[in-house]
Chains A and B, each alone.
Chain A
């Protein structure tokens, strides 16, 4: 028979969840509601006066062709970062899972990049690819390829995607490795005895059994690409050349903290909040169905 835990006091359960609720309120709900409130105003930078403009900040944004373009940029960037960081992490995890000698050393080394701050990661990659002093740019020139991400939008995008993915690989690696080690060895051995090759075993047994991990990482990585890559963009390209790496979260910074246009910046935050909420709902409704727990 199922064992049931009941609380004798009615207030106790509320008391127990209260700390979490307080944190959620102070750090999430309250700032979010502030952003919504501010998005309805057109204030001056110093907060000396503020005009209520209703939905005009939103109308201004959706009438701006360049703002709409940055949705496409964000989509390309997020998909590329998610795909690259997850596939590389999976590959590394599968390989690290097979290593017998010195496994801990490999694992530790692979986790290191996660400890690097985004801005520092950005600067490191920038140094390697700097058109005039970068080592990689120098070798590329040697091979006859003239690397110049300062003026070539595609190269700039490539660079920020690589830098952002590199930082996230460690995190994904940890989860994939834990997922791999949780798969019962007996299943794999049984398949091997039945004559299934290594690749076949991976795609028919390991990959489906990893799907809960993969799904979790998909959600986390998209959120990462949307919100936490600001430091990398800021240090590597500052959104340029032209607007080729201006993702939504970078534009919020640029308009709010460089342009001092807090109304528009708040409106963009609200839009970004809605976009990520929709994305998460979609992921849970449509992709989660294909996940085997």
Chain B
């Protein structure tokens, strides 16, 4: 009797102890839903099935801002996940939080994982790398803005349906012709600040902010009220007044209007490709973001999207699991599939080469535009990316001021001056809080 009891206790102890000793579980908080969420879940599933030592548990925490917030709140409560997906706008916030993050290069080195920073695309990884070349977070989903054109709409206006306008003056001609033919929405955009100010500045090789757009120091100041930016925004304001440019909203509300055929031209992330391809009932062209023949254009555009940050406060064993998972995500097979399914850029050169050799770009014209546009030239101090504190809020300010231009309440100069002044106040507060 006594013996059976002892045996039972021992058996139960074994059963309970087994999962703990067999698998290290790590948490990954992310911001993806829908198709992207499914693809992400697939990656996790594949990783969990590929080995038996580690288990990744992915949890959706809302949109980008909400996910970052959840991570911050969890850190304050000591309940932070191992991996947090943070959008590129939150990069400076994460970098400044030295005590909360564990740099990716460190995680990899401590785990003894194979890690070659050189294998990552410089234009993508550069955004998340210190000036000393240390990669702080792993690029996960990165995209860059491109121009989409509805071929049917061009044809209906008597234009060449295969037109690939390179510059804004060429685009303007198309917009006027569309308008003259009675088109109600010649051009719309998604993410106005990202496309028409942040990428615009990099593409024309003019500063968005001082100190290499914030890369070299915290005491950076906004500079996007320069002559070129004012000219471009002023021109767009004119187009808005003449009904050539239709404002749809601060995020990607314009996407539905392009996909339904309501709007003819659309500046949007290259990652919008999957959605357009799935829904558009018309042939479309993807081409380079247009530029003005001024400044250093065309330089290179910069990325948007998110990267994976590893948070402090976990055990070495768990960091080993994190390293294994990040290595898995960086393999060219995983990356090539991700790139081809989503329209996001591949993060390694190997994945790009693999996609090319598989003939994917020939079968899907336009899908390589983003990568060529980003990597065509070596980045300058103005086109490496942006690293600004409180940037989510600064984007909100830019949105407000741009809306004043589109509605005709302010001139481009007034609006951009106001945005710079208000944004600088926030940068100073951020600088003080993070000293």
Binding site for B on A (CB under 8 A): 42-49, 51, 60, 64, 66, 132-133, 150-153, 238-243, 254-255, 257-261, 263-264
Contacts and interface: CB of A to CB of B under 8 A. Distances in A.
A263 B75 CA distance: 18
Contacts of A133: 256
A261 B75 CA distance: 16
Contacts of B422: 66
Interface of B is mostly: helix
The 9 closest A-B pairs by CB, nearest first: A259-B393, A241-B403, A46-B100, A46-B97, A44-B433, A48-B99, A47-B76, A242-B400, A242-B403
Interface stretch (B175-183, B244-252, B269-277): B244-252
B268 to A, nearest CB: 16
Contacts of B392: 258-259
Given A46-B72, A152-B407, A242-B400, A132 B256 contact: yes
Contacts of A60: 425, 429
Contacts of A263: 433
B432 interface: yes
Contacts of A242: 400-401, 403-404, 407, 409
B396 A258 contact: yes
Contacts of B260: 132
A51 B250 contact: no
A51 B69 CA distance: 21
Contacts of A43: 433
Contacts of B407: 151-153, 241-242
A240 B250 contact: yes
Contact of A151 (B262, B401, B403): B403
Interface of B: 65, 69, 72, 75-76, 93, 96-100, 247-250, 253, 256-257, 260, 262, 390, 392-393, 396, 399-401, 403-404, 406-407, 409, 422, 425-426, 429, 432-434
A255 B249 contact: no
Given A255-B393, A257-B65, A48 B432 contact: no
A242 B425 CA distance: 18
Contacts of B75: 46-47
Contact of B432 (A42, A66, A243): A42
B250 A132 contact: no
Contacts of B401: 242
Contacts of A240: 250, 399-400, 403
B429 A42 contact: yes
Contacts, number: 88
A151 B406 contact: yes
Contacts of A238: 250
Contacts of A51: 432-433
Given A132-B262, A242-B404, A258-B392, 6 more contacts: A42-B429, A43-B433, A46-B75, A46-B99, A48-B98, A261-B426
Contacts of A48: 97-100
Contacts of B97: 44-46, 48
Contact of B390 (A152, A257, A261): A261
A48 B312 CA distance: 12
Given A45-B93, A255-B393, A260 B72 contact: yes
A132 B400 CA distance: 21
A43 B97 CA distance: 12
A132 to B, nearest CB: 5
A264 B429 contact: yes
Contact of A261 (B96, B256, B429): B429
Nearest to A259: B393
Nearest to B100: A46
A33 B426 CA distance: 26
Contact of A254 (B396, B403, B434): B396
Contacts of B262: 132
A254 B400 CA distance: 13
A243 B257 CA distance: 25
A132 B393 CA distance: 28
B93 A150 contact: no
Contacts of A152: 407
18 contacts: A42-B432, A43-B433, A44-B97, A44-B433, A45-B97, A46-B97, A46-B99, A60-B425, A132-B262, A152-B407, A241-B403, A242-B400, A242-B404, A242-B407, A242-B409, A255-B393, A259-B390, A263-B433
B403 A44 contact: no
A264 B250 CA distance: 24
Contacts of B400: 240-243
A254 B429 CA distance: 16
A198 B146 CA distance: 67
Nearest to A255: B393
Nearest to A48: B99
B262, B396, B401 pick with most chain A CB within 10 angstroms: B396
Given A48-B99, A66-B422, A264-B429, A258 B409 contact: no
B247 to A, nearest CB: 5
A255 B98 CA distance: 22
A150 B247 contact: yes
A48 B262 CA distance: 49
A261 B257 CA distance: 35
B75, B260, B403 pick with most chain A CB within 10 angstroms: B403
B156 to A, nearest CB: 19
A264 B429 CA distance: 10
A255 B422 CA distance: 13
Contacts of B429: 42, 60, 261, 264
Contacts of A44: 96-97, 433-434
A259 B390 CA distance: 5
Contacts of B98: 48
